[in-house]
Structure 1
Amino acid sequence: MRLRNTPAGFVTLWIGLASVGLADDLRPIPLKSRVENVQPMTGIVLWSTNEAVRSAPIQLEYSYLTYAQVVKGKGECDWGPVETLLDAVAGRKHQAVLRFHDTYVGKPSGVPAYIQALPDYKGTVALSEKKQTGFSDWSHPELRRAVLEFFGRFAEKYDRDPRLAFLEVGFGLWAEYHIYDGPMTLGGTFPSLDYQREFAGRMAEVFRQTPWLISVDAAGDHAPFATDAKLLALPFGLFDDSFNHAQHAKWNEPNWDKLGRERWKVAPTGGEFSFFEKKDQEQALAAKGPHGVSFAEHAAKFHISFMIGDAQPRFQPPERIREAGLAIGYRFRVAALKGSKTHTVATIANAGIAPIYHDAFPAVAGVRSKTSLRGLLPGESKEFPIEAGGGPMTIESDRLVPGQRIEFDADLP
């Protein structure tokens, strides 16, 4: 029987195709939503040791770690301290910003003990800010090798870990790419220019998912970045640990210029409120800041995603900290939502001051768009097709810890 060639067969086929066409007609979908909380991977940051991390309106916690805490021997890492820290942070529904250092004012060297014990290793103890401080011996090949190996192994273990938002790296005091007070010797207490180049290349090679940042002080002539086009092309972010001091435009901003003011489009920018003057901390979130410019205005100029402000719970109520956190980073707005029984198209804009730096996807009924929100710049909007219909829209990301949620604004009738 060859029914498909009969007129009745053609009618049946036409009706079926018409039904599919009607089912896939996209019609406006009402949606009401509002961003009410500081968004994941953005906002004011507190140290993980601050008691206020349990109640403050934050999404990120900061911690220093030394190489000595993890590297116990040649090729031997004990990840216990890192795991304990990350588990504690995630248990509070937050993510971590970590920084490893080898030199910290007033503390012993953070170089692994087995390296310090080598007979030809020559570490230095000297005054910095009038405090006895351990300085590294970067002339020693084992220290140079071990640090490269360490970050390779760290990336292998944590590059895709949702407990880790961002990683800050560097050398010198607090790993901030300077020794402004103490014995500063390239190739000695501070790595040589060649090794710094090798280190930056290694970071770009091993970290494919987790953004890594260096200090804006790396723009100086003791570092190779500002004059090396190949290094400037690497996808590193920037942090500025004296973000709001009185001479920022004169001292700090030129460093941002040298390292690339458009860098925020591919990697996060952040930092810490200044300690130059007492009011830099006390008035960091005041209406006009400590020096006549509000935090929101200053942050927008540099497209900031996060800012360490560990003292802010002492100076500001939670609502002000939340408000400041909402003023930085990304903020998504659903400008249009249309759907059928089988498909949805969401038009989403970024109303924030920076992109999101991890993959996140609009989703309907658990089905994600194949297009990520990562890289959607401030002021831009884009259509996101989703191969599902009939369910509420959410934004999903594998880079969130349990209890976190990416919110969005929408007012669609």
Structure 2
Amino acid sequence: MRRFLIIFSTLFLGMTALSCSKNIQKNGGEYAHLDRIPLQSEIKNVQPMTGIVLWSTNGRSTTAKDKLQLEFAYLLYSDICKEKDVYDWSSMDALLEKVASRGHQLVMRYRYTYVGQQCAVPDYIKSWPGYEETVGKSEGRDTYFPDWRCEELQRFHLDFYRRFAERYDNDPRLAFVQVGFGLWAEYHIYDGPRIIGQTFPSHEFQEVFFKEMDKYFKNTTWSISKDAAPELYSPFEAKPELLDIRFGLFDDSFMHETHHKYNRDCLLFFNYDERYKIAPMGGEFSYYTTYDQQHTLDKEGMYGRLFEDEVAKYHMTYINGNDQPKYQTMDRIKEASMSMGYKFEIKDFRVKGNEAAVLITNIGVAPIYRDAYVAVGGVRGEYSLKNLMPGDEVWIHIKGDGVSAQAVPAIECDHLVPGQKIEYKADVNDKV
């Protein structure tokens, strides 16, 4: 029932926007008494919270910062907590500040397990009575896996994200959060000791985790890997009601040769073509082969598919592409980034006295996932653009001191860092 309500409410918002625009003919409909004001504007940059993502350690995040909006970082639980209930967020704060200083926002993922490395479980848990890590070969290297039988690890994991959300849920330096278990927190142990309930958390604990995450995060959208679809790893098959939770997806092998098979099946399992309306679709370019990395952004495409077409098909908002500067120019990376996420166009702008009306449409492939508002003369309309789906348009009425024919419309969002600006396209003349 809840899934129906979510989908219905989303569709209702879209239908409301469409019905509004259908009632407005070229003469402005109910706003015909307002004077049309010429307006010209272009989208010249990648839009905030969208595009190709480089790691925060990639030098191009600094030297080509005007071509990007997002940076990515893997982070360790053990860097934040070493003693029970003692959390030191200074490393997280420093990272966010560094990213924001470049006019960017962060996409981040905490992890326990990385091929060839020690487990990033807090030190105190490693000394907990009965806790026993598993050491196994993954990609030929000794890799350490956490012991999910340990109740203290389970408690810590929930407490960590509760505290994280309390601290960062409204932080404009943070764009998106990715969560998961297994290798790289990508929801699999494709090579190594895969024991559900031990080296990978039980379905029962995952169910608790998802429900708690839904409570913790009120504004920031969190995502899991599309590899959570198989019933081996997750409880979604047995507990389909969990699919009603508002979470996004990340596809960490985007554009590989057989993406249309397993990857697409996983995305369809999560009903991605409806889910994108409430949470972002993200991912990473495929590392299956060197060829994939070399050619994924080729203008002529790869494996018979064009990147921009796949972005539109899967409503992608962002994608990790840390190695792309090795193979593509930053101008091409910027161009590809501008095909992702939301994109707004103002189709009509009318003003009379202190009253204005703006007809705006989303010409992108996804919505914006934070509240954003059309403003004239510093006066915001009430309609949040996060409800404006691709292809939909809506009239926004604005009235108040500051509104005038000389005031240029702006799109305002409180979830931006200094230097960021949401642009829009406009080609409005004064002829009706």
TMscore range, shorter length: over 0.9
* 2:93 matches 1:77: no
* 2:292 corresponding residue in structure 1: 280
Amino acid at match of 2:198: G
Match runs of 1:219-298 below 5 Å: 219-221=229-231, 222-261=233-272, 262-298=274-310
Q: Could you give the per-residue CA deviations for residues 44-76 of structure 1, whole angstroms, max 9, x where no partner exists?
A: 100000000013311000001011111122211
Q: Which residue of 2 aligns with 1:363?
A: 375
Among residues 97, 102, 109, which one is paired with 1:87 in the alignment? 97
SS of corresponding position for 1:345? strand
Which structure: larger Rg? Answer: 1
Distance 2:179 2:94 in 1: 20
Contact 1:288 1:295 in 2 (8 A): no
Paired residue for 2:357?
A: 345
Query: Which position in structure 2 is the counterpart of 1:103?
Result: 113
Match of 2:53 among 40, 45, 65: 45
Aligned partners of 1:303 and 1:354 also within 8 Å:
yes
Task: Please point out which of 51, 72, 78 is paired with 1:62.
Answer: 72
Q: Equivalent residues in 2 for 1:134-153 (5 A)?
A: 134-153=144-163
- Alignment partner, residue 13 of structure 2: none
Alignment of 1:115-194 (within 5 A): 115-194=125-204
CA positional deviation for 1:202: 0.9
TM superposition score normalised by structure 1: 0.93
Q: Which moved more, 1:118-127 or 1:165-174?
A: 118-127
Counterpart of 2:347, as a letter, is: A
Which stretches of structure 1, 4 residues or more, deviate above 2 A after TM superposition? Answer: 226-229
Check the 8 A contact 1:169/1:213 in 2, yes or no: yes
Separation of aligned partners in 2, 1:237 and 1:226: 17
Deviates more, 1:322-331 or 1:114-123: 114-123
- Deviation string, structure 1 residues 291-325 (Cα, Å, up to 9, x no partner): 12110011111000001111111111121111101
**CA distance in 1 between partners of 2:271 and 2:212 (Å):** 20
Matched residue of 2:386: which SS? coil
Instruction: Specify the code of the residue in structure 2 equivalent to 1:395.
Output: I
Deviation per CA, 1:86-110: give whole Å up to 9, x if none.
Answer: 0000000000001011111111101
Match among 83, 103, 122 for residue 112 of structure 1 = 122
Deviation at 1:25, TM superposition (A): 4.3
CA distance, structure 2, for counterparts of residue 188 and residue 289 of structure 1: 42
5+ residue gaps, structure 1, are 1-23
The farther-off stretch of 170-179 and 68-77 is 68-77
Structure 2: distance between partners of 1:379 and 1:269: 18
Q: Confirm or deny: 8 A CA contact 1:226 1:259 kept in the other structure.
A: no
The answer as to 2:360 corresponding to 1:382 is no
C-alpha displacement at 1:375, in angstroms?
2.1
Distance 1:201 1:62 in 2: 26
What CA distance in whole angstroms lies between the structure 1 residues aligned with 2:33 and 2:311?
Answer: 43
Which residue of the partner structure matches residue 14 of structure 2?
A: none
Letter of the structure 2 residue corresponding to residue 320 of structure 1: R
1:299 corresponding residue in structure 2: 311
Hey, what does 2:34 align to over in structure 1? 26
Aligned-partner Cα distance in 2 for 1:343–1:407: 22
Name structure 2 gaps, 5 residues minimum: 1-31
What per-residue deviation string (whole Å, max 9, x for no partner) do you get for residues 199-225 of structure 1? 011111110100000000000112112
Which AA in structure 2 matches 1:151?
A: Y
% identical aligned pairs: 47
What TM-score comes out, normalization by structure 2 length?
A: 0.89
Q: How many residues align?
A: 391
- Distance in 2 (CA, whole Å) between partners of 1:75 and 1:340 is 59
Q: Give SS of 2:135's match.
A: strand
Higher mean C-alpha displacement, 359-368 vs 135-144: 359-368
Cα distance in 2 for partners of 1:55, 1:309 equals 16
Q: C-alpha displacement at 1:187, in angstroms?
A: 0.8
